[in-house]
């Protein structure tokens, strides 16, 4: 497995398309963060961005996860490299996990990093503000790693089932386009089982309204946000993500081990 991992790392580091794609996503998310601050109806700030537009912190990441996982896990089927790896004496266990583990862990880390980009760009231009506490926001964003990992594991399963990089990429594009629509249609999203629901819950803050009397404006409503996160949300996010990801990866390996690769 060590040789397979070294080969994969070498190919990835020499892939210029990956660097260009990463730069494109970083620039796009940074611009989105600034534009949303400029168009905000309230006093702009990074904290305001998170509570008003939480989907920007997770929605676009499904696309980059799908592209990388599809390329790493399904790309070798098309050019037949995976057949040569088997003929060279590598076990299917080593081949599968030398692709699946780096793909899932790396893309989850990268997606979590992308979640920070619009927050940082917004904070540079408008500051943090006083809407939510920094600590609570940081904890919630860090926890997004686990649903991202679960989503990457799902795409890994699809990659080995379909042997198609394009299909995985297409699913990522569909998820990016219709993720928020799905949440709005279903309404309640308290389940930890679906990555999008879990991500939305992590970035949704408890609120309550405060009413004040203003001499000029009359009754004015102010919304307060609770940035703390419950222990059940933390444990549920981590435990369910690990268990579901394990099921996806074990199922993917089970299929790959028995498949004749025709």
C-alpha span between 58 and 55 (Å, rounded): 5
C-beta neighbour count of 170 within 10 angstroms: 13
Q: 22: which residues sit within 8 A by CB, 6+ positions away?
A: 64, 110
Q: 39: which residues sit within 8 A by CB, 6+ positions away?
A: none
| Residue 221 pLDDT | 55
Q: 32: which residues sit within 8 A by CB, 6+ positions away?
A: 56, 118
Hey, what are 158's tokens?
């699809």
Strands (E), the chain: 206-214, 218-226
Domain boundaries, position 30? 2-258
Domain count, the chain: 1
| Residue 251 pLDDT | 93
Q: Write the pLDDT tens digit of every residue in 81-138.
A: 666 676 776 788 888 888 888 889 999 999 999 999 999 999 999 999 888 889 989 9
C-alpha span between 27 and 45 (Å, rounded): 19
C-alpha span between 28 and 44 (Å, rounded): 19
Q: Write the pLDDT tens digit of every residue in 186-235.
A: 655 555 667 888 888 898 887 666 656 556 655 655 667 888 888 888 99
| Residue 10 pLDDT | 41
Is residue 179 a contact partner of residue 55, using CB atoms and an 8 Å limit? yes
Q: Mind giving me the DSSP string for 53-71? A: -GGGGTTTHHHHHHHHHHH
Given a cut of 50, is residue 13 above it in pLDDT? no
Q: Give the chain's length.
A: 262
Is residue 69 a contact partner of residue 149, using CB atoms and an 8 Å limit? no
Q: Report the mean per-residue pLDDT for the chain.
A: 82
Is residue 36 a contact partner of residue 48, using CB atoms and an 8 Å limit? no
Beta bridge pairs of residue 207: 225
Given a cut of 90, is residue 182 above it in pLDDT? no
Is residue 172 a contact partner of residue 63, using CB atoms and an 8 Å limit? yes
Given a cut of 90, is residue 249 above it in pLDDT? yes
Q: Mind giving me the DSSP string for 189-247? A: ---SSSHHHHHHHHT--EEEEEEEEETTTEEEEEEEEE----HHHHHHHHHHHHHHHHH
Hey, what are 85's tokens?
């790896």
| Residue 213 pLDDT | 58
Query: What's the pTM value of the predicted model, to 2 decimals?
Result: 0.86
């Amino acid at each position: 497995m060590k040789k397979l991992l070294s080969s994969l790392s070498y190919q990835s580091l020499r892939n210029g398309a990956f660097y260009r794609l990463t730069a494109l996503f970083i620039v796009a998310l940074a611009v989105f963060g600034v534009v949303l601050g400029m168009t905000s109806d309230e006093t702009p700030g990074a904290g305001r961005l998170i509570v008003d537009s939480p989907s920007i912190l997770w929605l676009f990441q499904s696309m980059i996860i799908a592209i990388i996982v599809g390329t790493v896990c399904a790309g070798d089927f098309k050019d037949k490299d995976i057949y040569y790896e088997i003929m060279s004496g590598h076990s299917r266990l080593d081949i599968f996990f030398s692709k699946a583990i780096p793909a899932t862990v790396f893309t989850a880390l990268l997606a979590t990093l992308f979640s920070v980009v619009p927050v940082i760009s917004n904070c540079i231009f408008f500051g943090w503000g006083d809407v939510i506490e920094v600590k609570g926001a940081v904890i919630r964003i860090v926890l997004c790693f686990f649903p991202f990992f679960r989503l990457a594991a799902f795409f890994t399963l699809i990659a080995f089932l379909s042997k198609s990089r394009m299909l995985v990429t297409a699913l990522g594009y569909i998820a990016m386009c219709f993720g928020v629509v799905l949440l709005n249609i279903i309404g309640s999203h308290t389940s930890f089982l679906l990555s999008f629901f879990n991500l939305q819950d992590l970035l949704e803050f408890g609120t309550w309204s405060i009413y004040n009397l203003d001499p000029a404006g009359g009754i004015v409503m102010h919304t307060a946000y609770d940035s703390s996160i419950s222990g059940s949300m933390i444990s549920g996010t981590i435990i369910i993500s690990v268990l579901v990801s394990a099921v996806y990866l074990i199922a993917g390996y089970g299929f790959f081990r028995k498949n004749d690769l025709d």
